[in-house]
A and B are shown apart, each in its own frame.
Chain A
């Protein structure tokens, strides 16, 4: 928290202005080198893809079934949720299993701003200025054994505080998983905050994972355990409906879902007249992550 005290007192409007300033500066440079055509292209891309979603929308429109299945439930039902004391254990196929408190993690690994697009499997998306650090930094601390092939994330189980867990909507506690190379990728983030502020409870406080090229449900919230394992873990959503939710769940416009369009998405906050935009392969992070899947049939391994 100490690392971004300055941001904490920055109101959203000024925050946005600052971002716009940085953006326009970037645009200016682009146009100097590539001519005016690219300026137009960039401007278009920015308009559709890079406008930050408002703090209000990010913090009141959530899928977090531990606090209820309606989009407004997490905000309503999580305000009294206690995020201290909080411990996270890193265990399994590691040389040095360890348990760290959330505060220890925050002080060990300085957070930086990371603006990523979040694409929900339900066909909507946001652009969120997260605060966080790469998960690889945390995983490097425990010396992973050679036979560890996957990482399993376990979220907190506390039906006293989490209303939604009193019903068997999903197999609690929430579990998610990544292949080890996915987990070690620099884009895979331990999130500690957003908009320069401490992470709100409804967004997965105190610490959550964020995997920007996968559908939102792959990014487990309020994690208490990170376990290195040999075999592919079964996530809560895979257990709920293996036909609909695969282990990889990379954002992929070519893999159809029985309920929602994956070819296009609506950017949250655009209002009644905002058009759908085309969903990009790997949520637009293909340049960074496509090599993780070379040679794989992504329709089979959805």
Chain B
């Protein structure tokens, strides 16, 4: 078993590794490697990073059950907060870089484009989860906390639909994400049924 000190180091290592996607895109911006449409590249990259962290976060409970090790759960909150982090950078790229805070156009997009509507909704739903992610809130909310944080299942599906709706023609990647997501969600229903 890992000692407490080792676990602390592991946490720092995992935290640093989780920052790789953002450092990677910053490096590409600085070295001018993003090609003719850099804003689109940043938007896609941060969006995909969000989806990866959704998968990682939702994989922790199944991994715990399969390996019968509790250690996975220690990192679930951190991964969950990285979902919020990358989703926020993704949203800010769209709001700030792409639309230059042109709120009228953004509002128009949210109403008229269903993929933006569902993506924005997913981000809004992440806010209460991020706010209540600390230990104090767990204690205060008790059983309600568990119920509240089940919202992530809905949010993850919103993310999958957001991706499916925005793709022009080749649905391969969003479908792969959806299949992985469904497997992870099905795992929960199976265990709950048991």
Residues of A within 8 A of B (CB): 57, 60-61, 65, 69, 71-72, 122, 124, 169-170, 240, 256, 258-259, 261, 263-264, 266, 268-269, 271-272, 275-276
Q: Are A259 and B109 in contact (CB under 8 A)?
A: no
Q: Are B169 and A69 in contact (CB under 8 A)?
A: yes
- In the docked arrangement, what's the CA distance between A261 and B98, Å? 11
Q: Are A261 and B36 in contact (CB under 8 A)?
A: no
Could you list 17 A-B pairs, sorted by A, with CB under 8 Å? A61-B36, A61-B37, A65-B169, A69-B169, A71-B37, A72-B35, A124-B40, A169-B169, A169-B170, A258-B165, A259-B113, A259-B165, A259-B168, A263-B108, A266-B39, A268-B37, A272-B38
CB distance from A239 to the nearest CB of B (A): 12
- In the docked arrangement, what's the CA distance between A71 and B170, Å? 13
Interface residues in B80-124 (C-beta closer than 8 Å to A): 97-100, 102, 105, 108-109, 112-115
Q: Are B170 and A61 in contact (CB under 8 A)?
A: no
Residues of B within 8 A of A (CB): 29, 34-40, 97-100, 102, 105, 108-109, 112-115, 165-166, 168-170
- In the docked arrangement, what's the CA distance between A261 and B34, Å? 22
B105: contacting residue among A124, A240, A261, CB under 8 A? A261
**Hey, which chain B residues are within 8 Å of A57, CB to CB?**
36
**Hey, which chain B residues are within 8 Å of A72, CB to CB?**
35
A70's nearest neighbour on chain B, judged by CB, is B170
Q: Are B39 and A170 in contact (CB under 8 A)?
A: no
**Hey, which chain B residues are within 8 Å of A259, CB to CB?**
113, 115, 165-166, 168
B115's nearest neighbour on chain A, judged by CB, is A259
**Hey, which chain A residues are within 8 Å of B169, CB to CB?**
65, 69, 169-170, 240
A54's nearest neighbour on chain B, judged by CB, is B36
Q: Are A269 and B168 in contact (CB under 8 A)?
A: no
CB distance from B16 to the nearest CB of A (A): 26
6 smallest beta-carbon distances between A and B, as pairs: A57-B36, A61-B36, A268-B36, A272-B38, A69-B170, A256-B112
Q: Are B98 and A276 in contact (CB under 8 A)?
A: yes
CB distance from B73 to the nearest CB of A (A): 39
- In the docked arrangement, what's the CA distance between A72 and B41, Å? 13
CB distance from A82 to the nearest CB of B (A): 26
**Hey, which chain A residues are within 8 Å of B102, CB to CB?**
276
Known: A65-B169, A266-B37. A272 touches B97 (CB 8 A): yes
A276: contacting residue among B34, B37, B100, B113, CB under 8 A? B100
Q: Are A276 and B99 in contact (CB under 8 A)?
A: yes
Q: Are B38 and A271 in contact (CB under 8 A)?
A: yes
Q: Are B36 and A122 in contact (CB under 8 A)?
A: no
- In the docked arrangement, what's the CA distance between A259 and B105, Å? 14
**Hey, which chain B residues are within 8 Å of A264, CB to CB?**
105
- In the docked arrangement, what's the CA distance between A240 and B170, Å? 12
A169's nearest neighbour on chain B, judged by CB, is B169
CB distance from A35 to the nearest CB of B (A): 31
Known: A124-B37, A170-B169. A272 touches B113 (CB 8 A): no
Identify the interface centre among B99, B114, B165, B169: most chain A CB within 10 Å of its CB: B169
- In the docked arrangement, what's the CA distance between A122 and B44, Å? 14
B168: contacting residue among A122, A261, A263, A268, CB under 8 A? A122
CB distance from B178 to the nearest CB of A (A): 18
CB distance from B89 to the nearest CB of A (A): 14
**Hey, which chain B residues are within 8 Å of A71, CB to CB?**
35, 37
